[in-house]
């Protein structure tokens, strides 16, 4: 059942339908997995609408791989995820992750987006530099992933 999944777009939240398409599973399966995998907790807003973040999409892809491609049972996949989380914690404790101990930097997404828009003038009059939006988006994605890694270690 090896299937190439589409790249995950750079955005903060994904609906259950978007996640289903990005991960190759139907929305009812995602709702079921939420009950089986405690690490999977999408934000819920008006009318109980689910909004998934980037790290949750990655986790769903990992769950899908364990279940569909590697042949784990739900229980086996749950145990495997726990092992992965524990080994990550152990590596951090052993000092393999140099960011251990740093507090997560809170990034106000609206403030960041406004700053990006302010910087989008292709030629900055003061310094004559150009701003590459793709570089800014890549940096934002990296910072978000770092923040999530730091947040999940506590």
Q: How many domains does the chain have?
A: 2
How far is residue 73's CA from residue 79's CA, in Å, rounded to a whole number?
10
What's the whole-number mean pLDDT along residues 106-133?
Answer: 52
Q: What is the pLDDT of residues 17-28, one digit of tens each?
A: 999 999 999 999
More reliable by pLDDT, 120 or 81? 81
Q: What is the pLDDT of residues 62-112, one digit of tens each?
A: 999 999 999 999 999 999 988 988 888 888 788 765 443 333 344 455 555
The tokens describing 85, both together, are 């989380």
**For the packed helices 16-23 and 54-64, what is the interaxial angle rounded to 10 degrees?**
40
**Do residue 75 and residue 139 come from a single domain?**
no
- Output the pTM of the full model: 0.59
Q: Which domain holds residue 63?
A: 14-93
Could you say which of 64, 93, 122 is where a domain stops? 93
Under the banding of pLDDT at 50, 70 and 90, the label for residue 142 is confident
**Do residue 88 and residue 114 come from a single domain?**
no
More reliable by pLDDT, 67 or 122? 67
Domain for residue 9, yes or no? no
**For the packed helices 133-152 and 109-118, what is the interaxial angle rounded to 10 degrees?**
160
3-state secondary structure of 14: strand
**Do residue 114 and residue 75 come from a single domain?**
no
**Do residue 71 and residue 114 come from a single domain?**
no
**Do residue 68 and residue 126 come from a single domain?**
no
Closest CA relative to residue 92, chosen from 101, 83, 84: 101
**Do residue 88 and residue 117 come from a single domain?**
no
Domain for residue 99, yes or no? no
More reliable by pLDDT, 60 or 145? 60
Q: What is the pLDDT of residues 16-57, one digit of tens each?
A: 999 999 999 999 999 999 999 988 999 999 888 999 999 999
pLDDT the model gives residue 138: 77
More reliable by pLDDT, 1 or 63? 63
pLDDT the model gives residue 89: 82
What's the whole-number mean pLDDT along residues 116-131?
Answer: 49
- Across the beta sheet with 14-15, the strand order is 14-15, 49-52, 43-45
Domain for residue 121, yes or no? yes
């Amino acid at each position: 059942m090896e299937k190439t999944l589409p790249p995950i777009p750079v955005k903060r939240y994904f609906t259950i339908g978007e996640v289903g398409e990005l991960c190759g599973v139907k929305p009812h399966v995602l709702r079921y997995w939420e009950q089986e995998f405690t690490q999977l907790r999408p934000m819920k807003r008006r009318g109980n609408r689910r909004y998934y973040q980037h790290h949750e999409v990655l986790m769903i892809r990992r769950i899908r791989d364990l279940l569909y491609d590697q042949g784990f049972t739900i229980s086996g996949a749950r145990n495997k995820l726990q092992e992965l989380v524990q080994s990550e914690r152990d590596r951090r404790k052993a000092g393999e992750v140099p960011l251990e101990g740093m507090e997560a930097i809170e990034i106000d997404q609206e403030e960041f987006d406004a700053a990006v828009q302010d910087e989008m003038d292709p030629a900055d009059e003061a310094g004559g530099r150009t701003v590459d939006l793709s570089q800014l988006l890549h940096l934002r994605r990296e910072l978000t992933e770092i923040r999530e890694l730091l947040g999940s270690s506590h």
